[in-house]
Amino acid sequence: MADCSRDDIRDLLPDLVHDQLEPEARARVEQHLAGCAECAAELDLLRAMRATAFATPDVDVDRIAAAVLDAMSAHGAPAARDDGGDDGGDDIVVSISAASQRSRGRTLTGAHAASAAHRARPRPARRPIPHHLRIAAAIALVAAGAGGYALTRTGPDSPLLPARHTAVAESGPAPSGTTREMSAQSGAAKAGAPVAAAPMAARDVAVAADSGADAPAPGHGHLILGDAVNELSESDMQALLQSVDDLQAMPDLEPHQLPLLASIVEGAL
């Protein structure tokens, strides 16, 4: 297939394929094509390539549009309007730019067109945490820190080591000389029985929320927190609760997920 010397005509052949020529240019090209076998063959080749070699991949345009809109709305773009006005446009650009910044450096993955939108979707607002659960979380946080501190202070030979058994003192007067030790796994109370396989958080901390609980006997090392919490001033408590709220890693607390902790705290209060 030879090349015609009329490059000016050949340059316009793709435009003819796409029907993008002005009438005058189109007439000029078609007039040339009538007498030029090379250009006619090249035109056929271009049409054949457009028809076969540049096939449209199988993509779901509607799904793409929906995912793009989700990504836009996820970052504060205002609702659709039909007036075509441009007021507020700057706000949109800013908010969408934030989406772009977050998505920079990543690519939308595999067959997760929907998940891409899901990732871009705004995270639901955190539900307010009930006050008693916030207090419970605060107590658990303080207990974990204090427990870790206590264990750090004790060496492997320390008599406090047995304290890794979970021990939670019930509110109210406890029977003299008794301490309820509870398996954090089953929640079942076993008086005086050491728990060998309790999770670490429960294993390392023993909370006696009632000030009337017996002082830990030597060798048990129970951590008494009840009075310490009760002695916090209102402002200190608020600061403590705020610090708990600010913890990004703190999961949303659901009442049904923490019945044991809730009952303990309610009892302590």
Partner 1 sequence: MPEPTTATDEPEDAVLVARCRAGDERAATALVRRFAPSVARFVASLGERQEVEEVVQDTFVRAFASLDGFRGESSLGSWLFAIARNLVRDRVRGRASRYQVVPIEEGHAVTGHDALDAAVSDETERRLGEALDLLSPMQREVFTLRVSEGLSYREIASVVGSTDGAARVHYHNAMRAIKEFIDG
Point out which residues bind partner 1 (CB under 8 A): 1, 3, 7, 10-11, 14-15, 17-20, 42, 45-65, 67-69, 71-73, 77-90, 92-93, 96-97, 99-100, 103, 107-110, 112-113, 116, 120
Taking the complex as a whole, how short is the minimal distance between the CB of residue 76 and partner 1, in angstroms? 10
Closer residue to partner 1, CB minimum distance, 112 or 131: 112
Min dist. Cβ of residue 209 to partner 1 (A): 51
- DSSP secondary structure of 55-104: PPP---HHHHHHHHHHHHHTTTPPPP-SS---TTHHHHHHHHHHHHHHHT
In the complex, the smallest distance separating the C-beta of residue 182 from partner 1, rounded to whole angstroms, is 50
Q: How far is CA 39 from the centre of its chain?
A: 59
| Residue number, 74 or 135, with CB nearest to partner 1 | 74
CA pair distance 167, 205, nearest whole angstrom? 8
87 or 157, CB closer to partner 1? 87
State in angstroms the smallest separation of the CB of 111 from partner 1. 8
Residue 234 CB, nearest distance to partner 1 (Å)? 45
Indicate the residue among 73 and 166 with the shorter CB distance to partner 1. Answer: 73
Place of tokens 């090349």: 3
Closer to partner 1 by Cβ: residue 92 or 237: 92
